[in-house]
Amino acid sequence: MNKITILLFTILSLNACQADDKQQTIVVEKKYSISIPAFLTKTTKLNDEASLQFQHPWKEFYVIVIDESKSEMQKALVDNNLTEMYSNDIKGYSELLLSGFNQKIVGAQKTKIVETFVNNMPARLLTISGKFEGIDAFYSLAFIEGKDRYYQIMAWTLLSKKNEYKDKMNQIMHSLKEL
């Protein structure tokens, strides 16, 4: 390789790294905002219930947010006779959703749930790895209790890309703000 080719390759590599560090803030229906990597693009194909869906299929990086009112959650618990099993708070909300999620992931390995706050809102965070539809995947999850709504943030990638994206996923989980 000549010096010009090496220089050009170095510049292109540095630009690619810098582009991966840029963030975009997305506002959803004047309810909440969230910061995600700028390389992600909007989609509607990940989850019908999601109010936010972004992806980069080539990089195998995906993010969704599902938000629902606390009154809808309470109604669902009552209508399905689940009030004795799940409380209408952040703990009950996360446990209900995780029970369904665990059934879909083969060989799920979960981290301990971290109880914290995200922008002054109670939150529960964890990661899960396992097989989903035959693919080894890594998920980062946040369950956040807002004033009148619950938020579920899920980011995922291939298990082989966990170390490449786990910090970006963690930043996403901590960026949600109610408006």
Give me the pLDDT at residue 8, please.
43
Give me the pLDDT at residue 136, please.
97
Q: What are the tens digits of pLDDT across the range 65-122?
A: 999 999 999 999 999 999 999 998 999 999 999 998 878 899 899 999 999 999 999 9
Note whether 147 and 69 are within 8 A (CB): no
Check pLDDT > 70 for residue 52: yes
Q: What are the tens digits of pLDDT across the range 130-164?
A: 999 999 999 999 999 999 999 999 999 999 999 99
Q: Average the pLDDT over each of 22-26, 29-33, 102-106, 117-121 and give the range with the smallest value.
A: 102-106
Separation between Cα atoms, residue 29 and residue 49, nearest integer Å: 14
State the pLDDT confidence band at 58, using cuts at 50, 70 and 90. very high
Check pLDDT > 50 for residue 7: no
State the pLDDT confidence band at 21, using cuts at 50, 70 and 90. confident
- Any residues with CB less than 8 A from the CB of 23 and at least 6 apart, and which? 35, 36, 37, 38, 171
- Name the β-bridge partners of 24: 36
Separation between Cα atoms, residue 176 and residue 131, nearest integer Å: 28
Phi and psi of 88, rounded to 5°?
-90, 70
Query: Which superfamily, per CATH, for 23-178?
Result: Mog1/PsbP, alpha/beta/alpha sandwich (3.40.1000.10)
Q: What is the pTM of this model?
A: 0.87
Note whether 172 and 35 are within 8 A (CB): yes
Separation between Cα atoms, residue 165 and residue 94, nearest integer Å: 23
| Domain layout of the chain by residue ranges | 23-178
